[in-house]
Amino acid sequence: MLKVQALGKQYGQTWVFRGVSFQVSRGELVAVLGESGVGKSTLLNGLAGLDSVQEGQVELDDTQVLGLSEQSLAHWRRRHVGFVFQAFHVLPHLSVSQNVALPLLLLQMPRAEREARVCDMLQAVGLEGLQTREPRTLSGGQLQRVAIARALVHRPTLLLADEPTGNLDQQSAERIISLLRQQVHTLKAACVLVTHSKAAAQAADRILQLRADGIWPG
Amino acid sequence: MTLLFTLLREVSLREWRLHPWRQGVGVLAVALGVALAFSVHLINESALAEFSSAVRSATGQSDGALQCPQFCDDRVWDAIQTQDGVVAASAVLEVDSYALDAQGKRQALKVLGLDALTIASVAPELLPRVSETMLDRLGFLDPQRLFLNPAALQVLQVRDGQTVELQAGLGLRTLTVAGTVAAGGTALAVMDIAGAQEHFEAVGRISRVELRLQTGRTLQALQNQWRAQPWWPEGARLQAPEEGAQRVSTASRAYRVNLTVLALVALFVGAFLVFSIQSLSVSQRTPSLALLGVMGLSAHQRLGLVLSESLLMGAAGSALGLLLGAGAAGLALRWLAGDLGGGYFPGIAPSLQMSPQSAAVFGTLGVLAALTGGWSPARQAQGMAVAQALKGLGGTDVRSLPPWAGPALVAAGALLALVPPWQGLALAAYAAVACLLLGGMACVPAVVAMLLHRLQPRDDARLVLALGRARHERQEATVAVAGVVASLSLAVALTVMVASFRTGVSQWLDQVLPADLYARTATSSAASDGAYLPLAFVQAAAALEGVQRVEAARTRPIVVDPKRPAVSLVARPLQTGAQGGPGLEPRLPMVGPTLPKQALQAAQASSGSTLLAGYVTEAMEMLYGARPGTTLQLTLATEIGTVRLQVFVMGVWRDYARQFGAVVVDLDEYRAVTGDQRVNDIAIHAHRGADLDRLQGALRALADRASLIEFAVPAQIRALSMRIFDRSFAVTYYLQALAIGIGLFGIAASFSAQVLARRKEFGLLTHLGLTRGQIVGIVAAEGAAWTAAGAVAGLLLGLAVSAVLVHVVNPQSFHWTMDWVLPWPRLIGLCVCVVLAGSIAAAISARAAVSTDAVRSVKEDW
């Protein structure tokens, strides 16, 4: 379970948000809505320890994330966190299966298990048969499926998705959100989905509204 | 065109303002290449022009000269004056000797003995101008008077009316400076011919007769006509006035071309730096160039834009290079007096001869080098797939050379290395070096592709990432490796060449300096008849306490081919019999086997004439075909008249001192044939334990003026020789440093470009759980791997180039061979330094890239 308590982030003298507290259970998809500039992406990065926060605590399955060193944070992210970005960030010089396998390679998983995992994951996201394709030959929707597969292949306990449908048409966006939801439930991951799309948020198990003074049920 | 200027102003200029140091380095690299090439050219041209001018002023209005073999009987002059077709004839005795300056130091001085009554009509600039204070009608005829040209007045620091001590043999003659002569060039003294003959023990001898001919008469026709007449001296020839300057020009040409080629290497390296800089620049600007493409800038215009930037860089570099080159040439002419270590223009003090044409040529070369360097990046910009590039999915499609181009160039290089020299120039060998370098670099993409194809890592994330990246951006990997290959191959080639030559010279010195002490009075073979050691001195030296034996040597310049510089005839003891062997013992650094004494006896029997056993240098074999078993005909003027020496070549030896050839014969045989008892050098073998300093003192005491003799022990000669060697090769050390420096800059630029393009990738890796240190480690390891691959290729290519330099360029240009010496510690050190520097450069670039906020990196559009 992800527990966030009184999280606050400031730039200079200005607080971006303050007093943000919420919990996300394993297998639950929580959507965080908010206006542009309110700090949705900053919140996600704070949860992953990629951005410093000035106050508060983040706890994932009894691990106090914000107290970890850079080395430990990196190790923790490698093992427990999956990321999905708006701009896909699929490495152009690796094939589809190599991109998906990347987290497993970093975890030094044996080849046979890794290949089986990648195969299953690609099947799960509907990309079977595209293993050897280069990213430049894929559509936006397919690229985001690759990114989701990569984010989930190592079975993280926390999935952080930052506007995953921002670059997609409505039809593709719906499919991606549906896929995310399905996979989160299947893999029992806690998922925080940051979006400004109400349509995307509707598919979540719960919606939260981020404001400067905290986070509130949406 | 207007669009191009607008883009240059609005896009390129802003880019340059952002990275002024980078553009500055590019401009500087071109400037250094142009400066080096232009200064070498200016120095050589100025020295040649000065030499030609000196020859012209010394020959004046002469139509030619009867040139004697060393010297002729002066009755030739009487005879030639009566010949049909001769308007005027003036005899000259030319002796190279020395005079003491105000500090008592010996200075080289050419002495011309002239007939004042006839010289005015053939060479007015040699006509003595008697000082006002010493006016008397026949003052010139006084054998105790001489007249100095401006260079001699300056070198000897004397004025009219003062005395000068002139060396003749091993003695000094005190003569009065009675005026001046206008002739330019090296230090020159003119005196009455009878006086010169008397002072230099050359009574009845002349060196040449300057001629003015009737209109319509040619030297060739007159020579054909006179040759059959009884007064015509054997071995003499009629020589055109410009032949002397031409001979020096021809003699120094290979050296000058070699220096120019070396200088052009610097320009080549400069071109490579432009390539690196422009590659980096195009990589960095890929999104903006793609955006301009979307907005309507055509592929051709993108090519034009990047080429124009290179052109501007080249133009700025060339302009700066021409200024630097002219300045460097001016300083070099002042400090080195126009002699760039080759020794072709001794004593010349030329002034800078600027020529707009040559400035234009070298300026254009600089611009061309920059354009060549900028071509590939420009094609990269041209071939950019705009939509893909905007998405950050690569998208550059550069059509590289066909795969056969590299191996074909290497093969062409190997074949060109077998081509003989053209007019004494190793042009094909230089082309071979260029082909090898270009071919080697053209092979790099194929080698990189082969390596990438063979390596299929699956289990290591770092390797998967690195190789995936390298396969995808093969162009950038190729640039990095090519940078290492280009710089390291040049550095390795120059290192091996210099080490081979240096080792060769060092070993050669060991072989040619077996004695304990050496003494001489003439420092060049040209002065061997003006300054020499009398036989009595040598005999007295041999009788000194502590001396085991003295070996005397007589050196005389002999013209074998009028179009080439004189070769040296060295007479020294050959038949010592000390080892008890049946054959001759030349005790020279022989190249290949020598013929047995029986071969000489057989040749004598078959020819029916007396043959002298001789050992020739490699230059004699290469220039005159004097192989073992052949017979050389040498014409020599002697006390007993002109003699024709027939020298049977017994073997070939290596001589790094006389580039144009030398023939060694036995001293006793030489004396028996010529009657010449003069000695130029002595090698003193002391008894074991003898005090060499005391011995030197005793030898000095034998001479009237001890300062006229130069003594040296082998260690001093060796140290001096190696110092001169290192000075002469200083330019190659500079080129090595330049090549390595520019190569490293290229590597750093290339890795910067790669790392810059991978910033988002690093951001993603941070999200996936890699620490910054791990990312820096990955990039450093990639850098190490690529530079190591480049180092291996560069080392192999450099060794191939060095083999051509050592085994082809050197013999063809300088007519001597050397062993191919591989200084492994230095070569491995070079490779290790390059790999280390490449890894560090990559790591530094990566550090800078990962210091960018990972969060921000992934936010940027790909």
In the prediction, which pLDDT does B342 show? 53
Q: In chain B, which residue's Cα lies nearest the Cα of A42?
A: B855
From B769, B772, B861, residue closest to A77, measured CB to CB? B769
Q: Is residue A92 part of a domain?
A: yes
Q: Which residues of chain B, if any, have pLDDT below 70?
A: 1-2, 51, 53-61, 133-138, 248, 251, 294, 336-350, 387-388, 390-401, 473-477, 479, 575-586, 731, 753, 757, 851-862
Total domains in the fold of chain B: 4
- Rounded CA-CA distance B466/A65 in Å is 30
User: What DSSP designation does B707 have?
Assistant: G
Report the chain A residue with the minimal C-alpha distance to residue B858.
A89
Name the token pair of B288: 């903006």
Sign of CA dihedral B293, B299, B300, B305: positive
Three-state DSSP at B821 gives: coil
| B401-430 confidence digits (pLDDT tens) | 678 888 999 999 999 999 999 888 889 999
Q: With contact defined as beta carbons under 8 Å apart, do B552 and B682 qualify? A: yes
- The Cα angle at residue A25 between residues A22 and A31, in degrees rounded to 5: 60
Q: How far apart are CA B315 and CA A189, in angstroms?
A: 63
The last residue of one of the domains, among B240, B273, B297, is B240
The reply to whether residue B854 touches residue A50, judged by beta carbons under 8 angstroms, is yes
Mean pLDDT of A11-17: 86
Q: Is B857 helix (H, G, I), strand (E, B) or coil?
A: helix
Closest CA to B270 of B477, B25, B479: B25
Tell me whether residues B392 and A106 touch, CB distance under 8 A.
no
- State whether B732 and B693 are in the same domain: no
What are the strands, taking DSSP E only, across B630-760?
631-638, 641-653, 662-666, 681-686, 710-712
Predicted pLDDT of residue B582: 43
Inspect the interface and report whether the beta carbons of B861 and A108 lie closer than 8 Å: no
Nearest to A49 by CA among B767, B848, B764: B767
Residue A47: which CATH number?
Answer: 3.40.50.300
Say what the pLDDT of residue B626 is: 93
* Per-residue confidence (pLDDT) for residue B578, from 0 to 100: 42
> Model ipTM?
0.78
pLDDT digits (tens, 9 = 90+) for B253-302: 777 777 778 777 778 878 877 887 888 788 778 877 877 776 777 888 88
Whether B475 and B553 map to the same domain: the answer is: no
Say if the Cβ atoms of B767 and A83 lie within 8 Å.
yes
In a domain, A18, yes or no: no
CB < 8 Å to B473, chain A: 93
The tokens for B45 are 């041209």
Residue B181 belongs to domain spanning: 61-240
Q: Does one domain contain both B503 and B530?
A: no
Task: Kindly list the residues from chain B whose CB atom is less than 8 angstroms away from the CB atom of residue A163.
Answer: none
Residues B121 and B248 in one domain: no
Instruction: Out of B391, B464, B772, name the one closest to residue A105 (CB).
Output: B464
Q: Are residues B47 and B74 in the same domain?
A: no
- AA letter at B709: I
Chain B contacts of A101, Cβ < 8 Å? 464
For residue A110, what are the domain limits?
A: 25-54+67-205
Contacts with B, A 184-203, CB within 8 Å: none
Nearest to A178 by CA among A139, A122, A125, A135: A125
**A80 occurs within a structural domain:** yes
Specify the pLDDT at position B620.
94
Give the nearest chain A residue to B466 (CA atoms). A93
The answer to whether residues B168 and B84 belong to one domain is yes
Closest residue of chain B to A70, computed from CA coordinates: B771
- Structure tokens that stand for A171 in this block: 């039809």
**Average pLDDT score over residue span A5-32:** 90
Chain A closest CA to B856's CA: distance in Å?
A: 10
CA B410 to chain centre: 26
- Please report whether residue A99 resides in a domain: yes
Same domain, yes or no: B273 and B172: no
Which of A11, A100, A105 to mutate to test binding with chain B, by most B CBs within 10 Å of its CB?
A: A105
Task: State whether A102 and B464 contact (CB < 8 Å).
Answer: yes
Judged by CB atoms closer than 8 Å, whether chains meet at B861 and A87 is answered as: yes
Domain assignment of residue A5, yes or no: no
Q: Do B760 and A83 touch (CB under 8 A)?
A: no
B472 and chain A in contact, CB less than 8 A: yes
Let me know if residue A17 belongs to a domain.
no
Q: Where are the alpha helices (DSSP H) in B217-355?
A: 219-226, 243-284, 286-294, 299-336
Domain final residue pick, B688, B712, B736: B712
Q: What is the mean pLDDT of chain A?
A: 88
Name the residue with tokens 């009987």. B73
Could you say which of A48, A93, A136 has the minimum Cβ distance to residue B388? A136
Q: B172 and B66, same structural domain?
A: yes
Residues of A in contact with B395 (CB under 8 A): 136
Task: Please count the structural domains in chain A.
Answer: 1
Residue A176: pLDDT over 70: yes
**Higher-scoring residue by pLDDT: A191, B48:** A191
Q: B681, B697, B712: which is the final residue of a domain?
A: B712
